[in-house]
């Protein structure tokens, strides 16, 4: 069998109400040389019936039916069936812009060093979106370069997983893992910390559905604590790999949670940078609390900026750069 230009990896569980629209958005792609591997993960609704109907009419769709096994196993089950050099992830409740496959494949073909690319997204339906979700959408869509993606990688997952297109040989080598934290973030951080460049197509090529029953809202592995555990594990083996001491800028709830998670890997703050006047001059967990201007006089340690607000991180980035610190080399943001 000839290989398509792109394989689409699409896990499904109980998505009958959205699956047909998703598959139609795939059929409408301007890039027509694709195959879509649909892995039904033990659906109990009409998902299989709808998937079979599309496969009967369009041989580019291939349906794999499994007993309920979970998202990670479903993805790993479908992966060997992908024949194209590029694999596009897709979720059954989302929609592709008609040029998504063509534009992402073109970028990967034009830049052989890139392992994968994401794209910008548009959350929908708009009427029920809360401020936090809209802020996350704005943050994602401000990532417009490989460098910016690496700078934001420990703030949040910098690529929406259903927007990912990745080289098949790389995804086959890495696969998906169940570590008790988000499988998509785990994959992105494994790629980045292994030295694989990632980028984004700075166009909204995915309509990303937001609803209360979405897996990222209902599964315990997508809780904030699990994201923090994931960040800490990768920080410990990458940015902090050569030292057990670091400087923590920020000791609000975000910084406190990250400190606890890093302590599980034997990493402890040598100093804590704070603006709160009641904390300055004190000691927290054996770490002296210092003001920002004291950084240039302290022994050199990697600095982790753990501040939740994007505006606050921007101000700290500017202050660090003014003091001669270089992001990704001397400091990193991890919200």
Structural domain that includes position 299: 231-333
Evaluate whether residue 96 is within a structural domain.
Answer: yes
Q: Are residues 205 and 309 in the same domain?
A: no
Evaluate whether residue 118 is within a structural domain.
Answer: yes
Query: Does residue 48 contact residue 119 with C-beta atoms inside 8 Å?
Result: no
Q: Give the integer Cα–Cα distance in Å for 255 and 250.
A: 5
Q: Are residues 191 and 284 in the same domain?
A: no
Q: Are residues 248 and 306 in the same domain?
A: yes
Evaluate whether residue 82 is within a structural domain.
Answer: yes
CATH number where 43 lies: 3.90.550.10
Q: Are residues 122 and 60 in the same domain?
A: yes
Q: Are residues 216 and 238 in the same domain?
A: no
Partners of 289 in the beta sheet? 272
Structure tokens belonging to residue 160: 């929406």
Q: Are residues 174 and 91 in the same domain?
A: yes
Domain boundary among 187, 222, 257: 222
Q: Are residues 185 and 240 in the same domain?
A: no
Q: Are residues 111 and 49 in the same domain?
A: yes
Q: Which pLDDT score, from 0 to 100, does residue 64 have? A: 98
Query: Does residue 40 contact residue 65 with C-beta atoms inside 8 Å?
Result: yes
Query: Does residue 193 contact residue 237 with C-beta atoms inside 8 Å?
Result: yes
Evaluate whether residue 254 is within a structural domain.
Answer: yes
Evaluate whether residue 306 is within a structural domain.
Answer: yes
Total domains in the fold of the chain: 2
Domain boundary among 222, 243, 269: 222
CATH number where 268 lies: 3.40.50.20
Q: Which pLDDT score, from 0 to 100, does residue 1 have? A: 64
Q: Are residues 270 and 150 in the same domain?
A: no
Q: Are residues 52 and 97 in the same domain?
A: yes
DSSP tag of 274: -
Q: Are residues 163 and 87 in the same domain?
A: yes
Claim: this prediction has a pTM higher than 0.85: yes
Task: State the CB neighbour count (10 A cutoff) for residue 296.
Answer: 10
Q: Give the integer Cα–Cα distance in Å for 8 and 208.
A: 16
| Per-position pLDDT tens, the chain of length 335 | 689 999 999 999 999 999 999 999 999 999 999 999 999 999 999 999 999 999 999 999 999 999 999 999 999 999 999 999 999 999 999 999 999 999 999 999 999 999 999 999 999 999 989 998 999 999 999 999 999 999 999 999 999 999 999 999 999 999 999 999 999 999 999 999 999 999 999 999 999 999 777 777 778 898 999 999 999 999 999 999 999 999 999 999 999 999 999 999 999 999 999 998 889 989 999 999 999 999 999 999 999 999 999 999 999 999 999 999 999 999 999 99
DSSP tag of 42: S
Q: Are residues 151 and 291 in the same domain?
A: no
Q: Which pLDDT score, from 0 to 100, does residue 14 have? A: 96
Give burial (CB, 10 Å; 0-12/13-18/19+) of 154.
buried
Evaluate whether residue 1 is within a structural domain.
Answer: no
Query: Does residue 100 contact residue 206 with C-beta atoms inside 8 Å?
Result: yes
Domain boundary among 222, 241, 257: 222
Give burial (CB, 10 Å; 0-12/13-18/19+) of 165.
buried
Evaluate whether residue 124 is within a structural domain.
Answer: yes
Evaluate whether residue 43 is within a structural domain.
Answer: yes
């Amino acid at each position: 069998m000839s290989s398509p230009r792109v394989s689409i990896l699409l896990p499904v569980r109980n998505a009958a109400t959205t699956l047909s629209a998703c598959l139609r958005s795939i059929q409408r792609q301007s890039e027509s040389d694709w195959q879509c591997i649909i892995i039904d993960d033990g659906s109990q609704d009409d998902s299989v019936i709808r998937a079979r109907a599309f496969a009967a009419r369009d041989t580019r769709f291939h349906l794999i039916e499994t007993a309920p096994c979970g998202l990670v196993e479903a993805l790993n089950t479908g992966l060997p069936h992908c024949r194209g050099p590029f694999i596009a992830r897709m979720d059954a409740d989302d929609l592709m812009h008609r040029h998504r496959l063509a534009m992402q494949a073109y970028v990967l073909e034009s830049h052989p060093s890139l392992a994968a690319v994401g794209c910008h997204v548009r959350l929908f339906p708009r009427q029920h979106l809360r401020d936090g979700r809209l802020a996350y959408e704005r943050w994602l869509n401000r990532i417009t370069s490989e460098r910016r993606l690496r700078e934001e990688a420990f703030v949040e997952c910098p690529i929406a997983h259903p927007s990912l297109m990745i080289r098949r040989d790389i995804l086959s080598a890495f696969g998906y893992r169940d570590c008790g934290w988000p499988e998509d973030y785990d994959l992105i951080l494994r790629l980045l910390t292994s030295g694989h460049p990632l980028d984004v197509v700075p166009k909204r090529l995915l309509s990303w559905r937001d609803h209360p029953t979405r897996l990222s809202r209902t599964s315990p592995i997508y809780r904030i604590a699990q994201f923090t555990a994931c960040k800490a594990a990768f920080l410990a083996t990458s940015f902090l790999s050569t030292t057990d001491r670091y400087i923590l800028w920020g000791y609000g709830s975000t910084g406190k949670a990250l400190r606890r998670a890093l302590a599980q890997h034997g990493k402890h703050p040598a100093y804590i940078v704070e603006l709160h006047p009641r904390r300055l001059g004190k000691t927290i967990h054996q770490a002296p609390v210092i003001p920002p201007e004291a950084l240039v006089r302290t022994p050199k340690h990697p600095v982790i900026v753990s501040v939740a607000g994007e505006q606050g991180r921007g101000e700290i980035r500017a202050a660090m750069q003014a003091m001669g610190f270089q992001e990704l080399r001397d400091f990193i943001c991890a919200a």
